[in-house]
Amino acid sequence: MKVVLDHVTKAFPNRNKKLKQDVIAVSDFTYEIPDGSLIGLLGPSGCGKSTTLNLISGLLTPTSGRILFGDEDVTDFSPEHRGIGLVFQNYALYPHMTVAENIMFPLGNLRGKDKMSRAEMRRKAEEIAALVQIEAYMDRKPSELSGGQQQRVAIARALVKMPRVLLLDEPLSNLDARLRLQTREEIHRIQRQTGITTIFVTHDQEEAMSISDAIVVMRDGVVQQIGAPQQVYNDPCNLFVAKFLGTPPINVFDGSVSDGALYLGEDRVLDVPCVPDGTYYVGIRPEGFEIRADGPMHAALSAIEVMGRDVSVVAAHPACTTDTLRAIIDADETVGLHANEIRFSLKPSKVCLFDRRTEIRVRTDK
Ligand code: ADP
Ligand code: MG
């Protein structure tokens, strides 16, 4: 089922009563989510992710704009009539019911021709439990399950009626690091197997990047950029998006362009023939540095951190906006590296320029 947000805006009265101005939690959000895709809604806390999800679920009504499922305008539909499955951060399972009863619960509300016998409900619950791989725990109570297993039950319950759209709000936040990794892969697999259009909210960029067909990056209620994870990472539209995506994060420098050359402090690091003279923020991804004895960028080596296959080189540069920059380098390239000074050349595709006032990307490749 394709999901269309058509100029959706949600304003709340200000919680601070002294302030008359509304809070615009979501501002003019327009996006056509393709049928069968997994979309990651991403941004820092308070940027409007949950509000967006709740507008799609029908728990909230937009102040203006429309929401469509397929060609059907569902803007005025209650959540029960939209055919959605919802999963929240806290599993919200019924503690006194078994796993099977929890999963079957939504089926008990079916009426008329959809009404199911108890045996049918049990069969359906078993089918879904197998999909999320908790079929071995059907007779346990939620308190007898791990956090990861409880979250699978919550996902099973959301799926049991085969919703048109599956909505997940920070579903992994209560899990420890390893379970988070495992459960996000599970969500990916379940989404692929069912083909249900899924919208997944997270503040964790890595989580969104790893499983989404497309990510939507939001800030202060405003969509900043939508695209395939790698495309947004490689081609951020502004400094906020560039800084929000990637671990280790992009390194930011104060740079200047003069006669088609980009300078970081004294170092003439790159030719940028299409960029007008002026000062810029310069973002360089950690993988954008190459160690070269005759490289144009001079930095002071502070530390080398080995992280398995790759090595993280920590260095200082006078034009860097932070104390140190971080470069990810192939392990063999750093053999015998111990001099105080280190020289880099830069991969042009890993260098982004931004306007200093608007922080919007300035293209170097016109
Ligand atoms: P996120 O899920 O990205 O952390 P939310 O969508 O929950 O963000 O909130 C977005 C903004 O809207 C925040 O500034 C929040 O304080 C505000 N907000 C959310 N719900 C309400 C509400 N019911 N009343 C007033 N303000 C709200
Ligand atoms: Mg939220």
pLDDT tens, residue by residue, 222-242: 999 999 999 999 999 999 999
Atom index in ligand 1 nearest the CA of residue 169 equals: 2
Helix (H, G, I), strand (E, B) or coil at 181: helix
Q: What is the token pair recorded at 153?
A: 């039950």
Residue 336 has what pLDDT?
65
Contact 310, 296 (CB under 8 A): no
From 197, 212, 237, give the residue that closes a domain.
237
CA of 170 to the centre of ligand 1 (A): 14
Pairing of strands 64-69, 3-12: antiparallel
Residue 91's pLDDT band (boundaries 50, 70, 90)? low
pLDDT tens sequence across 133-149: 899 999 999 999 988 89
As given in the structure block, the two tokens for residue 298 are: 């001079």
Report how far ligand 1's centroid is from the alpha carbon of 168 (Å).
17
Closest listed ligand to the CA of 12: 1
pLDDT at 45: 95
Where residue 95 falls among pLDDT bands split at 50, 70, 90?
very high
Report the number of distinct structural domains present in the chain.
2
93 within some domain? yes
- Give me ligand 1 centre to Cα 12, in Å: 8
DSSP string, 9-43: EEEE--SSTT--SPEEEEEEEEEEEPTT-EEEEE-
Assess whether 149 and 72 both reside in one domain.
Answer: yes
34 and 96 belong to one structural domain: yes
| pLDDT for res 26 | 98
**Which atom of ligand 1 lies at the shortest distance from residue 50's CA?**
2
Is 167 found in the same domain as 25? yes
Residue 297 has pLDDT above 90, yes or no: yes
Q: Which atom of ligand 1 is nearest to the CA of 45?
A: 4
305 and 216 fall within a common domain:
no
Range of the domain at 278: 248-362
Backbone angles phi, psi at 126, to 5 degrees: -65, -40
The CATH number of residue 130's host domain is 3.40.50.300
- Is pLDDT of 221 > 70? yes
72, pLDDT greater than 80: yes
pLDDT (tens digit, 9 = 90+) per residue, 195-215?
A: 999 999 999 999 999 999 999
- How much is the pLDDT for 349? 95
- Which 3 state secondary structure label does DSSP give 233? helix
Global pTM value: 0.93
pLDDT at 359 over 80: yes
Task: Specify if 341 maps to a domain.
Answer: yes
Whether 118 has a pLDDT exceeding 80, the answer reads: yes
Report how far ligand 2's centroid is from the alpha carbon of 228 (Å): 22
195 sits in the region (left: phi over 0; alpha: psi -120 to 50; else beta) called left
Q: What does pLDDT average to over the chain? A: 93
End-of-domain residue from the set 237, 257, 275:
237
CA-closest residue to ligand 1 atom 20: 51
The answer to whether residues 194 and 316 belong to one domain is: no
Q: Which of 12, 20, 169, 219 is the best mutation target for the ligand 1 pocket, counting ligand atoms within 8 Å of the beta carbon and taking the most?
A: 12
Domain termination residue (choose one: 237, 259, 288): 237
pLDDT at 123 over 70: yes
What share of the chain has pLDDT > 70, as a percent? 98
CA-atom Rg of the chain in angstroms:
25
226 and 272 part of one domain: no
Nearest-ligand number for the alpha carbon of 218: 1
Given CA atoms 241, 246, 249, 250 in this order, what sign does their dihedral have? negative
The C-alpha atoms of residue 54 and residue 249 are separated, in whole angstroms, by: 30
The closest ligand to the CA of 11 turns out to be 1
Other residues' Cβ atoms within 10 Å of the Cβ of residue 291? 17
Q: Strands across the sheet with 64-69, in order?
A: 23-33, 3-12, 64-69, 72-73
Residue 111 CB burial class (10 angstroms; 0-12, 13-18, ≥19): exposed
Q: Is pLDDT above 80 for 37?
A: yes
pLDDT digits over 153-178, tens only? 999 999 998 999 999 999 988 888 88
Co-location of 109 and 55 in the same domain: yes
Q: What is the pLDDT of residues 2-18, one digit of tens each?
A: 999 999 999 998 877 78
Is 331 a member of any domain? yes
Mean predicted confidence (pLDDT) in 174-201: 92
Mark whether 160 and 20 lie in a shared domain: yes
For 201, counting Cβ atoms within 10 Å of its Cβ (0-12 exposed, 13-18 middle, 19+ buried), the class is buried
First to last CA, the chain: 38
> Which of ligand 1's atoms lies nearest the C-alpha of 43?
3
300 plus 171 within the same structural domain: no
User: Rounded to an integer, what distance in angstroms lies between the CA atom of residue 62 and that of residue 48?
Assistant: 13
Which of 149, 229, 171, 164 minimizes the C-alpha distance to 194?
164
Pair 233, 263 in one domain? no
Whether 62 is covered by a domain: the verdict is: yes
Please indicate, yes or no, whether residues 206 and 306 belong to a single structural domain of this protein.
no
Per-residue pLDDT at 117 exceeds 70: yes
Whether residue 89 is predicted with pLDDT greater than 90 in this model: the reply is no
Residue nearest to atom 13 of ligand 1 (CA): 46
Residues with CB under 6 A from ligand 1: 12, 15, 23, 25, 43, 45-51
Element (H, E) at 102: helix 99-104
Average pLDDT value for residue range 296-308? 90
Three-class secondary structure of residue 264 per DSSP: strand
Return the pLDDT at 335.
65
In a domain, 10, yes or no: yes
From the CA of 237, how far away is ligand 2's center (Å)? 24
Report how far residue 270's alpha carbon sits from residue 263's, in angstroms, rounded to the nearest whole number.
Answer: 7
Stretch 120-127: mean pLDDT: 93
Give the best-scoring range by mean pLDDT among 98-112, 257-271, 290-304: 257-271
* pLDDT for 196: 97
Q: 178 and 118 share a domain?
A: yes
Does a structural domain hold residue 242? no
